A and B are shown apart, each in its own frame.
Chain A
């Protein structure tokens, strides 16, 4: 499902010394696996996740996602992969201001293209929000939702395109323990459905729910 070969990522910020965020990453992840990426702050976890999510390209090396060569793909091809195969969940939720929960979840449908879906986006969004336990929060704005509820809206949004890969960057980082457990329970459910789940976390309890842990240190991988 996912194959990284000697992937590196170097950030060149104008004038400053280049930052080698990832160095020679070699990683294979099978369909349906749940993998936790751990490491100190600045060790390259988010950089790796962004590459895995086709939001960024490796500086060098090879990345095969479901057989597609990501390093050489065009913006349009990468965008299509994100739109149809990948769902993102962020630590700070990244819900848009002043649109309802229902509309947040519907949003990805804008970019799924002509792929005919038998069920209207609004209905799918309603079903997903019901699934994450927010059936009575459909018309709520982000400012009217608790952190845990916002993150569950974000999970529903990530599921809108029925992705095979879920990427979550510290999904429980901004939540209290109870809300964090709810979100983790949802992610575990997704894995049981056969989706691949890759999450970045600092939390031991969260990491233990994954079958596999990847430890990053200064852009290098140490398999735990």
Chain B
């Protein structure tokens, strides 16, 4: 019998107590692993959805109105302060590469044949696609000539195609649809973008030239948003300062007046959204730490109990030649083997937890094996540290007293 099999047999003999000793280690490790994965996955998903919505983080969003307008802006709920000329002036700023103009509305019925649908309608400038990094799955985007001519042409998002042209065989291309009462010809289809923050679809929209929108559909000369692309990524603070100075000047704001526009840094928004999920992580981490602390107490207490119960065994082993060091080693080996088994169980359970959570979150699982293994090693070391006092007590059990009947 070698020391390790001997330790394994001792653990098996006291399997309930052994399990109670390290249950906290297993739970803490598994919980920690799962939570880390859940929060990493949701953080990544949030970033992805924000990125999906904006196309890129290297922009500054300029919206009319000074107050914090919540939710999606629309032509009916924003002040008419942001103009096409403002957009041109922003594009000319040194920190800005280009700017895209946007007029949007959500309350327009769209008709094709006898089908109606109410998607978001976006009037956009010719550089929209390029700036967002979006692609068409079919057709072509608005040409400068079409922009100038205020052409009645439309690009459909994937959901709109499904809603208005459900027959897979019949292509939407070249068909006529009505926005309100104005007829438009379909000239393209957007590649699917997926879900935005909160899970709503980013494919339920129709793009039309912003010039057409302004003069033939909405009859409004102001914009709902200007998307300004940074010349250098990460330069948003500088760019926002330039835009603020420019717009205050153009809008003749007195020194005391508040801004009549709102600037948004998308990466800051993303950071804010992910901060919510990280608060959950803090709570989870607390639970994991609590479980591990419980394990530490359980190991010290139950292993101490085991040492008391095994006095005769200790005395006998001393009589047949075990030194104090050998007894110390034996008990430390036992707790090391037990902690290692617990760490393995924790890793396995954690992996299972990650898979279940991923399925439940509908997100791909986030593995972090190096961190998980580091945590497992830490759990083993913690087990050893907690076992030190009981093991020392075992080693200093007086064999003579232990062996008296």
The answer to whether B323 and A110 have CB atoms under 8 Å apart is: no
The interface size of chain B toward A, counting residues with CB under 8 Å, comes to 24
Interface residues of A in 54-90 (CB under 8 A from B): 55-56, 75-76, 78-80, 82-84, 88, 90
The answer to whether B319 and A88 have CB atoms under 8 Å apart is: yes
- Smallest beta-carbon distance B325→chain A, Å: 7
Q: Residue B70 at the A interface, CB < 8 A?
A: no
Contacts of A106 in B (CB 8 A): 1
The answer to whether B9 and A79 have CB atoms under 8 Å apart is: no
Contacts of B312 in A (CB 8 A): 94
Q: Residue A112 at the B interface, CB < 8 A?
A: yes
- Smallest beta-carbon distance B111→chain A, Å: 83
Q: Residue A108 at the B interface, CB < 8 A?
A: yes
The answer to whether B321 and A108 have CB atoms under 8 Å apart is: yes
Contacts of B6 in A (CB 8 A): 110
Interface residues of A in 74-122 (CB under 8 A from B): 75-76, 78-80, 82-84, 88, 90-92, 94, 96-99, 103, 106-108, 110-112
Contact A83/B13 with A55-B399, A94-B403 known, Cβ cut-off 8 Å: no
A79 interface neighbour in B1, B313, B322, Cβ under 8 Å: B322
Contacts of B318 in A (CB 8 A): 55, 79, 82
The docked-state distance in angstroms from the alpha carbon of A24 to that of B371 is: 65
The answer to whether B320 and A56 have CB atoms under 8 Å apart is: no
Determine chain B's interface SS by DSSP, over half rule. Answer: helix
Q: Residue B405 at the A interface, CB < 8 A?
A: yes
Contacts of B315 in A (CB 8 A): 94
Q: Residue B19 at the A interface, CB < 8 A?
A: no
The answer to whether A84 and B321 have CB atoms under 8 Å apart is: yes
The answer to whether A55 and B405 have CB atoms under 8 Å apart is: no
Q: Residue B3 at the A interface, CB < 8 A?
A: yes
Contacts of B322 in A (CB 8 A): 79, 83, 110-111
Contacts of B320 in A (CB 8 A): 82-83, 88, 107-108, 111, 157, 160-161
Contacts of B403 in A (CB 8 A): 55, 90, 94
Determine chain A's interface SS by DSSP, over half rule. Answer: helix
Residues of B within 8 A of A (CB): 1, 3, 6, 9, 13, 312-313, 315-326, 399-400, 403-405
Residues of A within 8 A of B (CB): 46-47, 50, 53, 55-56, 75-76, 78-80, 82-84, 88, 90-92, 94, 96-99, 103, 106-108, 110-112, 157, 160-161
Other A-B pairs, 6, CB within 8 Å; known A94-B315, A108-B321: A47-B400, A50-B400, A55-B399, A79-B318, A79-B326, A110-B6
Cβ contacts A to B, 27 pairs, < 8 Å = A53-B319, A55-B319, A55-B399, A55-B400, A75-B324, A76-B323, A78-B323, A79-B326, A80-B323, A82-B320, A82-B321, A83-B321, A83-B322, A88-B320, A90-B403, A94-B312, A94-B403, A96-B313, A96-B316, A98-B13, A107-B1, A107-B320, A110-B6, A110-B326, A112-B321, A157-B320, A161-B320
